Amino acid sequence: MTIIIDNDNEMVAETRRDLRSLPKAELHLHLEGAMRPSTLRDLCAKYNIVAPSIPTASSQKFTDFSAFVHVYIAACDCLREEEDVYRLVLEVAQDLHKCGVTWAEIAPSFTFYAERFGGMEATLEILVRAAERAQEETNVGIGWVISVERQLGIVPAVELAHLALKGKKLMIGDRSAIVGFGLHGPEEGYPPALFQSAFDIACGEGGLASLPHAGEIAPEINQGSKSVLDAVKLLRAKRIGHGVLAAGDPAVTQVLLDKNVCLDICVTSNYLLNVVSSRESHPLTQFLKEGVKCSISSDDPLLFGCDIVSEFEVCRKDLNMDDSILAECAKTSFEYSCAPDSVKQKGVEGIKEWLSVQE
């Protein structure tokens, strides 16, 4: 039980439950960006690669997106053997399990290292086997989001769309191992419209869920909100990674509401990449008040020194979100996920139980 001061300057008691035990789905996570710092150092040493400087806490800001990419590419570069991939996927699943995550939709940047594993299709099969093994050991289900790297161009994007759709037949148990088609990488100069043909292929009738990033950094000056709108209208997004630049644009907000689109929010990431000036000024609570559905995610723990529990803690502390609002975001993470219905149902029931507990 925590004592706080309310708006009338009176002391009131507020229950603050253990956020680690709150069931949740992690919907915005990059595989290589979730590598443990110790693993990055181990693998760099194994292959005689100079290890990059990485943050030790969620306070080191990146001066620009290229500095972020430098660390990320280093994490991709040290994946050289199949055992490295199995280790990475297992450790990510273990870390998620400790955070109360039972389902994760993870985007691997395997286009950067697929040639070392026999090509894109062979690498995808390795990732699926790794996810299956990790699920057996941790009980964390992993659905892969095959994502276009904007900076690589349109032709590779179309090729990846065909691969993703073909990969939908890869199974873990009785479910597809591939759940979505995404779009990430630097937004500047790469608006959603450029990739519409790829998303038409991968996310058409009976295809994968459309899960692009948009509205993190404007593709062009003052076009951040439009990038969110185009992600919905042109790419038919079910969820959008970030989307924060839509804040303050009533027309785009209304489209998010009308189309029932969820924003996968990463507060620390947005702060450390200078998308918002402070954690306290993040528009997450504004979106929630306007009725926009939002999940809470960690994005790249390796680079931002966070995990999904610390993200919930930031939302509690810096955005003054009480347990009922945090639970609603956790519920949204299951409801808007691509998880099997049984996983969704169990997660939502667990959240109700979490809310019923009084300290």
Catalytic positions are 216
CA distances to 245, 294, 300 from 291, rounded to whole Å, are: 16, 9, 27
* Distance from C-alpha of 295 to C-alpha of 288, rounded to nearest angstrom: 10
All residues at 6 or more sequence positions from 344 whose CB lies less than 8 Å from its CB, including other chains: 334, 335, 337
What tokens does 297 get? 């995610």
**Secondary structure string (H, E, C) spanning 53-64:** CCCCCCCCCCCC
* Distance from C-alpha of 19 to C-alpha of 57, rounded to nearest angstrom: 19
| Alpha-helical regions (H) of 168-307 | 196-202, 224-233, 250-258, 267-272, 284-289, 301-304
* Distance from C-alpha of 284 to C-alpha of 267, rounded to nearest angstrom: 8
DSSP-assigned letter for residue 42: H
DSSP-assigned letter for residue 299: B
In single-letter form, the type of residue at position 148 comes to V
- Containing 105, the helix (H) or strand (E) segment is strand 101-107
All residues at 6 or more sequence positions from 211 whose CB lies less than 8 Å from its CB, including other chains: 105, 145, 147, 180, 181, 182, 237, 238, 239, 240, 241
Is residue 248 classed as helix, strand or coil in its secondary structure?
A: coil
Among residues 333, 280, 309, 12, the alpha carbon closest in space to that of 141 is found at 333
* Distance from C-alpha of 194 to C-alpha of 62, rounded to nearest angstrom: 27
- 3-state percent helix, strand, coil for the chain, nearest multiple of 5: 50, 15, 35
